[in-house]
Amino acid sequence: MGNLLTSPDVFLNGIVVVPGARTEHNDASALGIPDANYERIVRKVGVRSRPVAGPDQYTSDLAFSASRALLDARPQTDVGALIVCTQTPDHLIPGVSSRVHGLLGLPNDCFVIDINQGCSGFVLGTQMIVAMQRSMASHKSSLLINADTYSRLLRPDDVTTRVLFGDAATAAEFSTRPQGLRFRYCRSFADGTGYEAFVAHNSAVRPDDQPAGIHMDGSAIFNFALRCVPDAIRIALDDNGLQVGQIRKFIFHQANRFVTAQLARKLGLSDNQAPDNCEYMGNTVSRRPCRFCRRNRWRRSNAAIW
Amino acid sequence: MGNLLTSPDVFLNGIVVVPGARTEHNDASALGIPDANYERIVRKVGVRSRPVAGPDQYTSDLAFSASRALLDARPQTDVGALIVCTQTPDHLIPGVSSRVHGLLGLPNDCFVIDINQGCSGFVLGTQMIVAMQRSMASHKSSLLINADTYSRLLRPDDVTTRVLFGDAATAAEFSTRPQGLRFRYCRSFADGTGYEAFVAHNSAVRPDDQPAGIHMDGSAIFNFALRCVPDAIRIALDDNGLQVGQIRKFIFHQANRFVTAQLARKLGLSDNQAPDNCEYMGNTVSRRPCRFCRRNRWRRSNAAIW
């Protein structure tokens, strides 16, 4: 489902990332898991350490910090929409976006909502924001905040997930102001038959016959990604009459280095075309890996960029 | 923030509601609260009984039933977007929309996401869906499912909330097909400073120093509604050059009869202009009170309507 309407143009004007306050290293003593093999973990998934939320730091705190920093860098921003993407809200009721709206002191004439999405949350959130911006056709900006504290849902003894996920937030500003990256195209795919492959048991209202916390079927997800992501990319390129070689950067969801490297290999990408930043960030879920911003023209904007 | 773009037109083609499998009456013995006064409750909030989810019925089950019924009534529907609005998901990860997408066997080329919103969830969800439809400009339909099982989060001994909330789901189809109700206008307001007035404590990842479950500051919410809702309605009327007397029906969120009656009085509406359906449904959160459909032109559509 492409966004066939292309007017008005919408731009990603800037982005800020705030990592969790603590750093957790992937060695056995830091993890408290005696048989965790640091060298093997680093070789396999490419993650040496990850940011983790502080003891009193929740998703709304990370989300607020990132959006506060973004707005401090642009005090004139008139926010017309605030969307928070999270799977680890402070509460089921109300949404994290409500708390952030209140803490930022934003105007009442504002569209405020939470969305729930994991790895694809920046892309789907962007698609929503762009649709809203086009529908509004106003001078106002939209903020997309991606914030998660998966550490609250990880099972401490599950080394396969512990070593991957980090806690962080990004705040991104979108508007029709021609500054930053212009949104060109998006097409989303979904397969709900894979529901069981990644579940946080006993995390909301359904009681499960399993220990509480995140259960990941790593090989099912890996096979799904390797089967479906290259096809999705080829469809996107075909829709736009482009070839792999014409694309400067493919910014994959930073699942882990093993996954991004396999995807790059399957698509025939050079190392330069498929950068990763897992090493000291891990997989921070839907947060866009904006560290890459430094190397491209986003840097020319006035946004505070981490 | 009005939707200034009005093209292409988007229509609400049909809507289906599925109530929870059980019925809970608001008398002391049914509630198990000895000092609950049935007559006083009915006089005050106008709720005699409410649908409540069955023991093995969760939000995704209600959401699936409603959307299955909608699609059975229109087997040719080509679904391009599926948005589930809920505050009581089965799990924090993945979203209810993922499970529904899988159970319905929808195509992979589909935008699938959960949104989290309470009372205003139908309105905000509609605004999102309309923006998506306009951005897509395709022949595909979007489904908006509003589903909640607040009964899982209510504190059994809290009579002020127990007697209000019911469990139910609606599935609504939107498309550019000119059938049903045409979307005209929407403008959303928010005030995140009221976060504490309605919180489900210990419901997600933040631990609270309060008993688990929904805590409602009823008078704060009532005062907020009476202060802000009439102003919002007047702004909407002004934006469209309309007067109160020119509107046939004001379909309020069915908080309870006390609130809707006070709002109607403050706006000077006739009983006929402000119908309610709390009596046997209670407040089923973001679900649109589509029982009113029977009395208006929606009935002429082919949608399965409860």
Give pLDDT tens digits for A244-271. Answer: 999 999 999 999 999 999 999 999 999 8
In the 3-class helix/strand/coil scheme, how is B201-254 assigned residue by residue? ECCCCCCCCCCCEEEECHHHHHHHHHHHHHHHHHHHHHHCCCCHHHCCCCCCCC
Within a domain: B74:
yes
CATH number at residue B143: 3.40.47.10
In chain A, residues with a C-beta closer than 8 Å to the C-beta of B228 are 108
Max Cα–Cα distance, chain A, nearest Å: 57
- For residue B134, give the nearest of A100, A135, A203 by CB distance: A135
- Residues B167-202, buried b or exposed e (16+ Cβ, 10 A)? bbbbbbbbbbeebbbebeebebbbbbebbebbbbbb
Nearest-angstrom CA–CA distance, A120 and B8: 28
ipTM of predicted complex = 0.93
Q: Which amino acid is at B185?
A: Y
Taking alpha carbons only, the member of B54, B62, B51 closest to residue B16 is B62
pLDDT of residue B6: 59
Arithmetic mean of pLDDT, A109-129: 95
pLDDT of chain B, 306 residues: tens digit per residue: 444 455 688 999 999 999 999 999 998 888 888 877 888 888 999 999 999 999 999 999 999 999 999 999 989 999 999 999 999 999 999 999 999 999 999 999 999 999 999 999 999 999 999 999 988 757 899 999 999 999 999 999 999 999 999 999 999 999 999 999 999 999 999 999 999 999 999 999 999 999 999 999 999 999 999 999 999 999 999 999 999 999 999 999 999 999 999 999 999 999 899 998 889 999 988 766 554 444 333 333 333 332
Joined together, the tokens standing for residue A42 give 């680093």
Apex A121 CA angle, B103 and A134, nearest 5? 100
Interchain contact, A1 vs B130, CB within 8 Å: no
Distance from CA of B148 to the nearest CA of A (A): 10
The answer to whether A54 and A96 have CB atoms below 8 angstroms apart is no
Does residue B269 lie in a domain region?
no
Per the CB < 8 Å rule, is A192 touching B103? yes
Residues from chain A that touch B102, judged by Cβ atoms under 8 A, are: 191-195
Please check whether residue B274 lies inside any domain of the structure: no
Q: Structural domain tally of chain B?
A: 1
The whole-angstrom separation of Cα A13 and Cα A298 is 8
- Structure tokens given for A185: 């195209």
Of A302 and A119, which is predicted with more confidence?
Answer: A119
- From the CA atom positions of chain A, what is the Rg in Å? 19
Domain range for A232 is 1-204+211-306
Mean pLDDT to the nearest integer, A26-37: 85
User: What's the pLDDT tens digit per position in A221-234?
Assistant: 999 999 999 999 99
Chain A to chain B, count of Cβ pairs less than 8 Å apart?
242
In terms of CA atoms, which chain B residue is nearest residue A205?
Answer: B90
pLDDT, mean of residues A51-64: 97
C-alpha–C-alpha distance, residues A213 and A58, integer Å: 17
Does the beta carbon of B94 lie under 8 angstroms from any beta carbon of chain A? yes
The reply to whether B62 touches chain A by the CB within 8 Å rule is: no
A-chain residue closest to B199, CA distance: A93
